[in-house]
Structure 1
Amino acid sequence: MPEFIKHPLIKADSVEQRLYQLDLAGKALDTSTLVVLPTGLGKTIISLLVMASRLEKYGGKVMVLSPTKPLVEQHASFFRNVFNLPEEEVLTFTGSISPDKRAEMWKQGKVIVSTPQVIENDILTKRISLEDVTHITFDESHRAVGNYAYTYIAEKYFETAKNPLCLGITASPGSSDEKIAEVCQSLHIESVAVKTESDKDVIPYIHKKEIEWKRITLPDGMKEIKDLLNKVLEDRYKKLTELGYPIYNQRYVSKKDLLGLQAKLQGELRGGIPEPSVYSAISILAEIMKVNHAVEITETQGIESLRMYMERLDNEAYSKSGSKASKRLAEDLYIRQVVRRLKDCDIEHPKLEYVKKIVLGELDGKPHSRVIVFANYRDTAEMITNELAEVEGIRPIRFVGQASKYKDKGLTQKQQVEIIEQFKAGDYNVLVATSVAEEGLDIPSTDLVLFYEPIPSEIRSIQRKGRTGRKHEGRVVVLVTKDTRDEAYYWSSLSRERKMQSNMKELQASMPAVKNNSITEEFVSETSGEEQKKLFEYGNDSDKISIVVDQREIRSSVARNLDRNGADIIVKTLEVGDYILSDRIAVERKETQDFVSSLIEQKLFEQISNLSRAYEKPVLIIEGESLFNCRGMSPNAIHGAISSIAIDFGVSIFYTRDAEDTASLLMQIAKREQVDEKREINMHGRKAAPMLPQQQEYIVSSISDIGPKAARNLLLHFGSVENVMKASYEELLEVDNIGPKTAAKIREIVGSEYKN
């Protein structure tokens, strides 16, 4: 009979006592700790033990953060079942709960389980304070890098909490020293505790996990298609070389190499007036990246996946926003040959037959088994699902992320949860999944995990394998196509996994020694350290800067960088602009991708027009380093738009590298306005009254699709606003740059009956 944990805050006979969990929890109670433990060995139990101890000793609140809503719901359900607390004190925070309600709930909660984005927003908007939070668990803590919300929350936690202590838990922190160090630094981790499947105290709880590698030969017909694609690559590599940008070792060029060259070219665009060859090189590189991806699909995925990809390329080439790169590829002789071969090709990647054979073999022997087939691409997942559906006894379902694209609709989070429940119930016995099933969802342990292809990421590989062997013996099968990228990815993943295990052991040994707390039944043996020193000092309180931030901008990392810089953030829903810095300056921020998208969708000039009407000194910030490489937009079109914004609308334009750079610029402008100029913030602006011609242009340009230039043309032609409004459709067509669509729109707005 197993022994159970005994603690006043944990329900009797609800949690089995395991020595390795007690050992890890003891270390995590002494100092902020990163716990690395294989999937399925109870990382959540370790969090429970630490939270119970902190609540009993210090009171206050404890918090668990998880990346997704389904995982939050799963954790909250577990904690409600095991914590000896009133159910209303164990709370779930997600974006579906209104901010005001969360603020009320926060006051009564003892255990808060939440997605990090919600907590980040509530900290920024000052709805909650972390002052009385005595512990935070960061689930899937390998995510605590870059601008992920974990980083900001940990920073604010150690800045404001009276008794801070955090626990990071993960099965796979990464193989590089830099990645692990960044996670530790982000979460203020001082100790690392590692358990592996080979540790003596873990072995009794490990179920055997058999791993097989199936090596497959690419058929001749697919090799011929690959050769045609390689000829396209050879031609484009030659053109790049002629432009002065040679790619060496072309046979083994990686996506990382291509992205490095892309970054270099974009850097040259920003460094003054670039040579025309830079634009040509960027366009050719875009072709190379598309064809390189097609080669990878041919080698590792299958004919049907390649067919779908080529169809999307063709659709892109002939769409309104199609790039020159996609148009040139669509007209390439070898690409046309590939498309023709695909129409007549009746062979398929042998991996598909292996999948059917392996899955059927598993289900024939054990009809109640559950199987997950992992595929890197949605097209492949759809192809596998369709093939498996034709086999009697196999009930597959495709499981993908939320994003939708051409002929490929994603699944909502609600649909994902429903599919998992049906998979658990046995309505489906095979889940064909992309990376969305690797972490963050409550997917039950399976009997077989099948990799359609290896993946180079050690983190993702470990998470996939962790979907089997949890409650009983499991099996992992990885399909590898010989002499292709599959083999490179296989060796890369294997090497990185080994390196990660080695690094973790070394890091654990090199960290300052922590007292190995022996946890008694009452959890009273932990020692409290000195109060954590604040690590971040901000600004000068006498010159406090206030910045109004639009509610939608909270999702960007600009707001958290403003907070780091000492700004007093006021979150409002703004009608105009994204940031208000004074009574005369409002700012519209556009990331490069968003700038080009809003230009294509014809939203940009309306936003800029509204901004320039409301504020005396409107500002546009274009953030990012790939403005001239977004969606195939012509550089001339982008320069034309920027010129119009600056000259026609009188908007000041600034360029920033990233969110941190944007926040720094906003702080400088706001300081100049509020401290040096003694100006106050006004959400509605205070623009000086325009002169009569400007007012007349304003009235005419308020009509949809009429810009400043068109408004001036109309007024010059007809002489007054009244005459413009009276003009017939035919008369409007006589004006320069007024076409049938615009003339019809004017007549519709002016002549239609008003209906409230």
Structure 2
Amino acid sequence: MFNLLNFTPREYQESIFQSAKEKNTLVVLPTGIGKTAIALLLILERLNKFPDSKVVFCSPTKPLCNQHYETIKNNTNIEKEKITLYTGNLSPKTRKELFESSKVIIATPQTIQSDLENKRIELKNVSLLIIDEAHKTVKNYSYNILASIYKDYSLHPLILALTASPGGNKEKINEIKNNLFIENIEIRTEDDEDVSPYLQEKNVEYIKVTLPQEILEIQANIKKIQNEKLSELRKFGVTKPIHVINKKDLLVLMLQFRREIDKKNPAGFYGVSLVSQLLKLSHALEILETQTIDSFKDFFDKMRLEKTKASQNILNHPEIKTALIKLENLKNRTHPKLEKLIEIIKEQLESNPNAKIMIFANFRNTVAILALELSKINNAKVIKLLGQKEGITQKHQLNAINQFENNEFNVIIATSVGEEGLSINTLDLVIFYESVPSSIRRIQRSGRVARIKPGKIIFIIAEKTRDEAYYWKSLKEEKKMKNILKDMQDDSQSKLI
């Protein structure tokens, strides 16, 4: 008989577990209040109910898999050798043997998918499939394929999907539901009576900074050429007002122009170059408004090395030439957002020398610049946390997190890799260096703090820029998501009665 060790489930965890025992269930809980505990309860229930079966627990990254491995090992009486951290680092032969001999397999979905496709393993005796960070179950992600194979081949299929943030619209949430064959939704928010006693206080501060006149002038130069190029889209039948054309619209146009090239239409080449210029100009504006002056300079330095027509057209435009002359005059200036960040870190470490701080920034280049500048602050020991797209292995990511948790560093600067479910319990402060338009990413970032003690979140916002627009967009999307999920939960539970 398998049992829990070292903790007692809370009332809401027990309630959700009871609901998830018989139906494929999507669980939406605020970060840091024990989604994994519900998984533990269900793992034990299924292994006791079907003694010859096993459980597969999928999580999107190796650091997350490692966390779940430690949790299951330390909080159940399942034999340690029967709990397997199943990674691509193991040889295929070893993985096959471990899969057959284990009761609980913790793995990335890609590793399981690869072994299924190569017929090394089968899911016939898997009585529970756990999908962590279930908001990823969209498009062609491995979770979709796994869930479909599992549903068709398992003798006793049951799916438990876990997330803090499935998405801000009904279509996205329905896509996750359909891909995972969800029949039941369990949601709890910070406002629910059975959850609120366990939440730590989370103070949110919104700090606006004003862009100086010199940056506003460069912004005006870029916007002038941007509007010029947007107006040229009229030649191609684009009727949407230019002030509301966004990146998504431009990417759709890019596909259309590439199709014209395939049809040997010379206008397609002009269209592709025009859209490329607009995408580059939009990115330049984003960097200027929301990142650092050095990031903006680096962007144009890299553009000078490109030989594409789009890059050369931008660099040769009089407005850009004027903007780059003005940029030279900003050489020794610091972007107001970076000034504010330095001020916040100094104040935090002066008032609390033991403070642990996490800063999120979207771009690797910005992370490097922030790390360089913040390292100059007295008592600031800074480490970077970058993703695999930036060439960093998951082993290095885990090392960075462990070093931070062990107090070798007190400031960690992360790209989006830091958003995904990582349990860094010691954090005092999370800083959004820029806003994100996605409610999922906002919730994930915010969830890194106030897990076991009170914490603070600071948004640094450049006034009258996309920073402000993204802040309000993600907030509105989060509220909408909660309302949609509550309606879906009521609907799914009424069908269970």
Residue 49 in 1 paired to residue 41 in 2? Answer: yes
CA contact under 8 A between 1:70 and 1:440: conserved in structure 2? no
Aligned pairs for 1:158-197 (under 5 A) are: 158-197=151-190
Residue 476 in 1 paired to residue 454 in 2? Answer: no
Which residue of 248, 252, 256 maps to 1:264? 256
Aligned partners of 1:203 and 1:234: how far apart in 2?
49
Counterpart of 1:422 in structure 2 is 403
CA contact under 8 A between 1:66 and 1:440: conserved in structure 2? no
Q: Structure 2 counterpart of 1:258, which letter?
A: L
SS, match of residue 63 in structure 1? strand
Unpaired runs of at least 5, structure 2:
none
How much has 1:245 moved relative to structure 2?
4.2
Which residue of 203, 211, 217 maps to 1:210? 203
Alignment deviations for residues 146-187 of structure 1 (CA, whole Å, 9 cap, x no partner): 111110011010101111001000000001111111111111
Counterpart of 1:411 in structure 2 is 392
Q: CA RMSD in A?
A: 1.7
Counterpart of 1:457 in structure 2 is 438
Aligned partners of 1:312 and 1:133: how far apart in 2?
51
CA contact under 8 A between 2:367 and 2:384: conserved in structure 1? yes
Aligned partners of 1:57 and 1:282: how far apart in 2?
59
How much has 1:96 moved relative to structure 2?
0.3
Which residue of 85, 96, 99 maps to 2:92? 99
CA contact under 8 A between 1:283 and 1:324: conserved in structure 2? yes
SS, match of residue 188 in structure 1? coil
Aligned partners of 1:193 and 1:514: how far apart in 2?
13
Aligned partners of 1:402 and 1:141: how far apart in 2?
20
CA contact under 8 A between 1:221 and 1:347: conserved in structure 2? no
Alignment deviations for residues 641-663 of structure 1 (CA, whole Å, 9 cap, x no partner): xxxxxxxxxxxxxxxxxxxxxxx
Aligned partners of 1:288 and 1:451: how far apart in 2?
27
How much has 1:445 moved relative to structure 2?
4.2
Larger Rg: 1
Aligned pairs for 1:586-605 (under 5 A) are: none
Aligned partners of 1:514 and 1:396: how far apart in 2?
52
Which residue of 53, 58, 64 maps to 1:65? 58
CA contact under 8 A between 2:27 and 2:160: conserved in structure 1? yes
Residue 79 in 1 paired to residue 72 in 2? Answer: yes
How much has 1:440 moved relative to structure 2?
4.8
Which residue of 433, 446, 453 maps to 2:427? 446
CA contact under 8 A between 1:455 and 1:489: conserved in structure 2? yes
Paired positions, count: 495
CA contact under 8 A between 1:145 and 1:186: conserved in structure 2? yes
SS, match of residue 338 in structure 2? helix
Counterpart of 1:502 in structure 2 is 483
Residue 36 in 1 paired to residue 22 in 2? Answer: no
Q: Structure 2 counterpart of 1:305, which letter?
A: S
Aligned partners of 2:4 and 2:251: how far apart in 1?
54
SS, match of residue 393 in structure 1? coil
Counterpart of 1:19 in structure 2 is 11
Aligned pairs for 1:148-547 (under 5 A) are: 148-241=141-234, 243-246=235-238, 248-270=240-262, 272-274=263-265, 276-317=266-307, 323-345=308-330, 346-404=332-390, 410-513=391-494
How much has 1:442 moved relative to structure 2?
4.4
CA contact under 8 A between 1:448 and 1:474: conserved in structure 2? yes
Counterpart of 2:115 in structure 1 is 122
Alignment CA distance shift 1:512-1:205 (3 Å): closer
SS, match of residue 142 in structure 1? helix
Aligned pairs for 1:553-572 (under 5 A) are: none
How much has 1:138 moved relative to structure 2?
0.3
TM-score (norm 2): 0.96
Aligned partners of 2:124 and 2:15: how far apart in 1?
28
Alignment deviations for residues 709-730 of structure 1 (CA, whole Å, 9 cap, x no partner): xxxxxxxxxxxxxxxxxxxxxx
Q: Structure 1 counterpart of 2:2, which letter?
A: L
How much has 1:231 moved relative to structure 2?
2.3
Q: Structure 2 counterpart of 1:465, which letter?
A: S
* Aligned sequence identity (%): 38
CA contact under 8 A between 2:422 and 2:448: conserved in structure 1? no
CA contact under 8 A between 2:259 and 2:268: conserved in structure 1? no
How much has 1:239 moved relative to structure 2?
3.3
Aligned partners of 2:55 and 2:355: how far apart in 1?
38
Unpaired runs of at least 5, structure 1:
1-7, 318-322, 405-409, 517-756
Q: Structure 1 counterpart of 2:25, which letter?
A: T
CA contact under 8 A between 1:437 and 1:443: conserved in structure 2? no
Aligned partners of 1:363 and 1:514: how far apart in 2?
53
How much has 1:370 moved relative to structure 2?
0.7
How much has 1:441 moved relative to structure 2?
3.8
CA contact under 8 A between 2:425 and 2:452: conserved in structure 1? no
SS, match of residue 412 in structure 2? strand
Alignment deviations for residues 687-724 of structure 1 (CA, whole Å, 9 cap, x no partner): xxxxxxxxxxxxxxxxxxxxxxxxxxxxxxxxxxxxxx
SS, match of residue 236 in structure 2? coil
CA contact under 8 A between 2:231 and 2:242: conserved in structure 1? no
CA contact under 8 A between 1:395 and 1:430: conserved in structure 2? yes
CA contact under 8 A between 2:63 and 2:397: conserved in structure 1? no
CA contact under 8 A between 1:287 and 1:325: conserved in structure 2? yes
TM-score (norm 1): 0.64
Q: Structure 2 counterpart of 1:422, which letter?
A: Q
Aligned partners of 1:494 and 1:422: how far apart in 2?
33
CA contact under 8 A between 1:215 and 1:481: conserved in structure 2? yes
How much has 1:70 moved relative to structure 2?
1.3
CA contact under 8 A between 2:4 and 2:76: conserved in structure 1? yes
Alignment deviations for residues 18-66 of structure 1 (CA, whole Å, 9 cap, x no partner): 1110011111102110000000011111000001001101121011000
Aligned partners of 1:279 and 1:81: how far apart in 2?
60
CA contact under 8 A between 2:260 and 2:267: conserved in structure 1? no
Alignment deviations for residues 555-590 of structure 1 (CA, whole Å, 9 cap, x no partner): xxxxxxxxxxxxxxxxxxxxxxxxxxxxxxxxxxxx
SS, match of residue 232 in structure 2? helix
Aligned pairs for 1:551-630 (under 5 A) are: none
Q: Structure 2 counterpart of 1:419, which letter?
A: A
Q: Structure 2 counterpart of 1:420, which letter?
A: I
Q: Structure 1 counterpart of 2:363, which letter?
A: Y
CA contact under 8 A between 1:151 and 1:186: conserved in structure 2? yes
How much has 1:11 moved relative to structure 2?
4.6
